[in-house]
Amino acid sequence: MRANRIAVFLRGCARLVSRGGRWYFAWLALLGAMIATGVAGYARQASHGLIATNMRDQVSWAFYIGNFTFLVGVAAAAVLLVVPAYVYAWKPIKEVVVLGEMLAVSALVMCLLFILVDTGSPQNMWHIFPLLGTPNFPSSLLVWDAIVLNGYLVINVTVVAHILYRLFNGKSYDKRVVVPLVLLSIPWAVGIHTVTAFLYNGMASRPYWNASILAPRFLASAFCSGPAILLVLFQVLRKTTGFPISDEAISKIAEIMSYAMFVNLFLLGAEVFKEFYSATEHSVYTRYLFFGLHGHHAIVAFAWIAVSCSFLAFLLFVVPATRRNIYTLNLGCALIFAGVYIEKGIGLVIPGMTPDTLGEIYEYTPTATEWMVAAGVFGVGFLVYTLLVKIAVPILDGRFQAGMEVPLEAAPEAKPAH
Amino acid sequence: MSAETRSLPVVQEEGIPGEPPEAAVSRRAFLQTVAGAGAAAALAACDVDSALRRHFKELSKEEVARLVEKVKRDHEARFGKKDWQVTARSPMPGVEFGYGLDLSRCIGCRRCVYACVRENNQSRHPQVQWIKVLEMDKVRGVDVIESDAYYEADAVPRPGKFYMPVQCHQCRHPPCTKVCPVQATWTEPDGITVVDYDWCIGCRCCMAACPYGARRFNWAAPGIGAGEVNPHIAVLGNRVRPKGVVEKCTFCIQRTREGRYPACVEICPVGARKFGNLLDPQSEIRYVLENKRVFIFKEELATRPRFYYFYAT
């Protein structure tokens, strides 16, 4: 009986994702092309080895791991947005929870894929599993990261699936299941980003990472980038599906982001002061990032772009007039995304390893293969989110339940956006 | 036994003084010199076996013997018939290896680098080298940021420069084994940190953690000619590595566990490299530690290396 109902639910989901307008399928085709590109890139990498990337012994982690780190922040912050949704009692709290957790699920899928493509011998990956393999617990932070990321994935999938399944069957979700899990997911979100920060932080060999300010900086920047993505998504969904989120809630999120960005910039300033005032040998990494070293400048421009983007976004979000204006708001979101993407990607990983532990400077830039593989991973992540939204929105607003026909692609045009 | 084999043994063949001989024998490693083909035939069809095998430290004696057979067959298949000597010797009781490098003697000729490549079957294409020689300014002292590993000189040593070879320090508190997510690398009782190449997932955490830049990754499948390969190989040492795993200096485990010197020690034309048993009060390394001025590289990281720099003059 229950299995039957689950089968009905899954068939309903399949019907939802298999129908849509021209733009929906065009979008899916684009994602399909991205994924195909990624598969081609990965096939090349798998046959030649990681020499298909520009990583070398000097810079042994790079673009893949940078993307991984950025996306852990997205996954964490998407769920942390649930806190203001409760505090300010936004009306679409259920929708904010589901959309945030779905974003976390998609980001986690990308995180795990980026780790997988960075691994030299993925066929040995099972050695990390308990019982089967020999996980180095509790000593290895990568084992911790595997535990918290997979645990977080399970929590978020459970909450989303539960809410949607109940609504699909015309019932409200079970508070005894959802509330504890959502409450658990909030500290867990802090946990995944802290553990990821500790992965770098624990390396005494790399002074650039071995600073206790690293985990707080991770959290502060995540509180900027995660909501930036959700803000844009909320607006898109409000336009296309009539998702009921008010302008006030949006500007509240923007306000929270401005505080987060202030903390982020403050922590950056604290690090910059310490590095340049004390000017020890350990400051070479920060010097390489912002000014270059011994004539090597590969990432200097990116570093300044990142700082400028973050600072401009802070100004746009801290001034009430510009965070209420829809254009400057979205500009601010784009700037934050760019700023944090650079800061937590190449800005974190590359200077950590340049110069290397014996003082050598190897200037890293990603190869075409790395771009292709990354495009594929992002394609998978966007596809997961697209399909989840396609399923979730009609169920959340009650247009699709067990026994119903698949609803129209979008909410009626006449319906006011808010 | 060739003359090479007798190059100043670091342990007595008779076992450790003060230890009952039978204990020494039973704990004495077995050297599996591969000759018989019986086991090889029985194992002809189990490549899956190696992909699914357990962690090296969990293998029984028989399973290690089978692994040794398999490694031999794999090498023979790739490089042809040779005098293959595949070993998986256990550490010798009462031995803890230590290394001394005399900075006042080293002339920066890099003979150690290439002797190591030949001995330990490092990849020639792309080039992998376990030893890196840094050229430094005498007036600056040990300053890695200003050092140059790619110096090209008609003659060494160059005026105003000194040379500092760096390789695995075989730490007592190794940051690399701590971070490995699958315990694919560990420190043996004789102080050598090894890698189980079949167990490594290639995540490169250990490379990020090592403060001495001592670990190398096989970014591509190692390229070694059949004429270049050293047929005397240890399973946890210089056997030819697969693509996508990490490798490192093992103090020439295939030699030193048989009482021979590492290749870099043997080749050094100025005698800058000293090697021996730290637990043996008569050893040369102990003499160096007790009588010379010793310097620990990156001592502030508390890795407690078994690799010491010293100034003999």
Of A134, A143, A281, the CB nearest to B55: A134
pLDDT digits (tens, 9 = 90+) for A324-349: 999 999 999 999 999 999 999 999 99
- For A136-167, b/e burial (b = at least 16 CB within 10 A) is beeebbbbbbbbbbeebbebbbebbeebbbbb
Whether residue B259 lies within 8 A of chain A, CB to CB, comes out as no
CA distance A300 to A289: 5
Whether residue B288 lies within 8 A of chain A, CB to CB, comes out as no
* Whether pLDDT at A2 is above 90: no
pLDDT digits (tens, 9 = 90+) for A141-173: 999 999 999 999 999 999 999 999 999 999 988
CA distance B209 to B20: 41
Spell out the per-residue pLDDT of chain B, length 313, in tens. 343 433 344 444 444 444 444 443 333 333 333 333 333 333 344 456 667 789 999 999 999 999 999 999 999 999 999 999 999 999 999 999 999 999 999 999 999 999 999 999 999 999 999 999 999 999 999 999 999 999 998 899 999 999 999 999 999 999 999 999 999 999 999 999 999 999 999 999 999 999 999 999 999 999 999 999 999 999 999 999 999 999 999 999 999 999 999 999 999 999 999 999 999 999 999 999 999 999 999 999 999 999 999 999 8
Mean pLDDT estimate for chain A = 92
pLDDT of residue B232: 97
Roughly what angle, to the nearest 10 degrees, separates helices A326-344 and A63-80? 130
Q: What string of DSSP letters covers A26-60?
A: HHHHHHHHHHHHHHHHHHHHHHH-GGGSS--SSS-
Find the residue in B nearest to A355 (Cα).
Answer: B145
Question: So where are chain B's domains?
Answer: 3-87, 94-313
CA distance A268 to A272: 6
Per-window interface: B 108-147 vs A, CB < 8 A: 126, 132, 134, 143-147
Whether residue A370 lies within 8 A of chain B, CB to CB, comes out as no
* Whether pLDDT at A279 is above 60: yes
Predicted TM-score of the model (pTM): 0.91
Whether residue A204 lies within 8 A of chain B, CB to CB, comes out as yes
Reported as a pLDDT band with limits 50, 70 and 90, residue A237 is confident
pLDDT of residue A250: 87
Superfamily covering domain A23-396: Formate dehydrogenase/DMSO reductase domain (1.20.1630.10)
- Cα–Cα distances (Å) from B293 to B254, B279, B290, B309, in that order, read 30, 20, 8, 9
pLDDT digits (tens, 9 = 90+) for B128-171: 999 999 999 999 999 999 999 999 988 999 999 999 999 999 99
pLDDT of residue B47: 52
pLDDT digits (tens, 9 = 90+) for B11-27: 444 444 444 444 433 33
- Cα–Cα distances (Å) from A47 to A52, A240, B142, B225, B244, in that order, read 9, 43, 41, 20, 11
Whether residue B187 lies within 8 A of chain A, CB to CB, comes out as no
Residues in chain B with CB shorter than 8 Å from the CB of A204 are: 175, 211, 301
pLDDT of residue A386: 94
pLDDT digits (tens, 9 = 90+) for A343-381: 999 999 999 999 999 999 999 999 999 999 999 999 999
Which parts of chain B fold into alpha helices (H)?
A: 21-27, 38-42, 47-51, 61-79, 111-119, 175-179, 205-209, 253-256, 263-267, 284-291
Give the distance from residue B210's alpha carbon to the nearest chain A alpha carbon, in angstroms.
Answer: 6
Question: So where are chain A's domains?
Answer: 23-396
Q: What is the ipTM of this complex?
A: 0.92
Reported as a pLDDT band with limits 50, 70 and 90, residue A408 is low
What architecture does CATH give domain B94-313? 2-Layer Sandwich (3.30)
